Amino acid sequence: MSHKLYKNLIGGEWVASRTGKTFLNINPANSDDIVGEFQSSSAADIDNAVAAAAEAWKSWRLVPAPKRAEILYKTGEILTQRKEQYARDMTREMGKVLAETRGDVQEAIDTAYYMAGEGRRLFGQTTPSELKSKFAMSVRMPVGVCGMIAPWNFPMAIPSWKLFPALVCGNTCVIKPAEDTPLSTYNLVQCLVDAGLPAGVVNIVTGFGPDAGAPIVSHPGVRAVSFTGSSEVGRIVGQTAAGNFKPCSLEMGGKNAMIVLDDAHLDLAVEGALWGAFGTTGQRCTATSRIILHKKIAAEFTEKLVARADALKVGDGLDESVQVGPQVNQQQIETSTRYCEIAKKEGAKLLTGGSALEDGTYDKGHFFAPTVFASVKPGMRIAQEEVFGPVVSLIECADFDEALDIANGIDYGLSTALYSRDVNLAFRAMRDLEAGITYINAPTIGAEVHLPFGGVKHTGNGHREGGTGALDFYTTWKSVYFDYSDKLQRAQIDTGE
Q: Distance between CA atoms of 152 and 25, rounded to whole angstroms?
A: 12
Q: With beta carbons less than 8 A apart as the criterion, state whether 267 and 425 touch.
A: no
Q: Which of 100, 179, 251, 386 binds ligand ADP (CB under 6 A)?
A: 179
Cβ closest to ligand ADP, residue 306 vs residue 447: 447
Helices 182-194 and 65-94, packing angle to 10 deg:
150
Cβ closest to ligand ADP, residue 167 vs residue 222: 222
- Quick note: the x/- pattern for ligand ADP over 233-272, rule CB under 6 A, is x--xx-----------------------------------
Q: Distance between CA atoms of 384 and 456, rounded to whole angstroms?
A: 15
Sheet hosting strand 349-352, strand order edge to edge: 349-352, 371-374, 391-397, 288-294, 256-260, 415-419, 437-440
Residue nearest to ligand ADP (CB): 209
Q: Could you tell me how many residues of this chain bind ligand ADP (CB under 6 A)? A: 18
Q: Which of residues 414-453 bind ligand ADP (CB under 6 A)?
A: none
Q: Distance between CA atoms of 292 and 393, rounded to whole angstroms?
A: 8
Cβ closest to ligand ADP, residue 214 vs residue 343: 214
Q: Distance between CA atoms of 105 and 256, rounded to whole angstroms?
A: 24
**Rg, the chain, Cα only:** 24
Cβ closest to ligand ADP, residue 142 vs residue 325: 325
Q: Which of residues 111-150 bind ligand ADP (CB under 6 A)?
A: 149-150
- For the bound state, the minimum distance from the C-beta of residue 279 to ligand ADP, rounded and expressed in Å, comes to 17
DSSP 453: B
- For the bound state, the minimum distance from the C-beta of residue 107 to ligand ADP, rounded and expressed in Å, comes to 18
Q: Distance between CA atoms of 399 and 130, rounded to whole angstroms?
A: 55
- For the bound state, the minimum distance from the C-beta of residue 225 to ligand ADP, rounded and expressed in Å, comes to 9
Element (H or E) spanning 147, and its range? strand 145-149
Q: Which of 10, 189, 192, 69 is nearest to 471 (CA)?
A: 69
Q: Which range in 175-183, 304-312, 339-347, 402-410 contacts ligand ADP by CB under 6 A?
A: 175-183
Cβ closest to ligand ADP, residue 217 vs residue 382: 217
- For the bound state, the minimum distance from the C-beta of residue 212 to ligand ADP, rounded and expressed in Å, comes to 7
Q: Distance between CA atoms of 373 and 403, rounded to whole angstroms?
A: 18
Element (H or E) spanning 340, and its range? helix 330-346
- For the bound state, the minimum distance from the C-beta of residue 497 to ligand ADP, rounded and expressed in Å, comes to 59
Q: Which of 76, 151, 317, 467 binds ligand ADP (CB under 6 A)?
A: 151
Q: Distance between CA atoms of 254 and 287, rounded to whole angstroms?
A: 8
What long-range pairs does 438-443 form, CB within 8 A, spacing at least 24?
Answer: 439/415, 441/264, 441/265, 441/268, 441/272, 442/272, 442/417, 443/258, 443/272, 443/273, 443/275, 443/276, 443/288, 443/417
Cβ closest to ligand ADP, residue 122 vs residue 328: 328
CA distances (Å), origin 264, targets 48, 87, 376, 419? 56, 35, 21, 5
CB atoms within 10 A of CB 263: 14
- For the bound state, the minimum distance from the C-beta of residue 421 to ligand ADP, rounded and expressed in Å, comes to 36
Q: Which residues have CB under 8 Å from 402's CB, separation 6+?
A: none
DSSP 197: P
- Three-state secondary structure readout of 369-417: CCEEEECCCCCCHHHCCCCCCCEEEEEEECCHHHHHHHHHCCCCCCEEE
First CA to last CA across the chain, in angstroms? 83
Cβ closest to ligand ADP, residue 368 vs residue 419: 368
User: What phi and psi, each to the nearest 5 degrees, are found at residue 460?
Assistant: -160, -175
Q: Distance between CA atoms of 42 and 92, rounded to whole angstroms?
A: 26
285 part of the active site? yes
Q: Which range in 19-27, 69-77, 155-163, 229-237 contacts ligand ADP by CB under 6 A?
A: 229-237
- Quick note: the x/- pattern for ligand ADP over 202-221, rule CB under 6 A, is ------xxx--xx--x----
70 part of the active site? no
229 binds ligand ADP (CB under 6 A): yes
Cβ closest to ligand ADP, residue 235 vs residue 428: 235
List 146, 169, 191, 285, catalytic entry: 285
- For the bound state, the minimum distance from the C-beta of residue 207 to ligand ADP, rounded and expressed in Å, comes to 8
- For the bound state, the minimum distance from the C-beta of residue 230 to ligand ADP, rounded and expressed in Å, comes to 3
Q: Which range in 109-117, 228-236, 350-358, 391-399 contacts ligand ADP by CB under 6 A?
A: 228-236
Cβ closest to ligand ADP, residue 213 vs residue 276: 213
178 binds ligand ADP (CB under 6 A): yes
List 251, 386, 396, 465, catalytic entry: 251
- For the bound state, the minimum distance from the C-beta of residue 237 to ligand ADP, rounded and expressed in Å, comes to 5
337 binds ligand ADP (CB under 6 A): no
Cβ closest to ligand ADP, residue 140 vs residue 162: 162
- For the bound state, the minimum distance from the C-beta of residue 14 to ligand ADP, rounded and expressed in Å, comes to 20
Active site residues: 251, 285
> Where does this chain bind ligand ADP (CB under 6 A)?
149-152, 176, 178-179, 208-210, 213-214, 217, 229-230, 233, 236-237
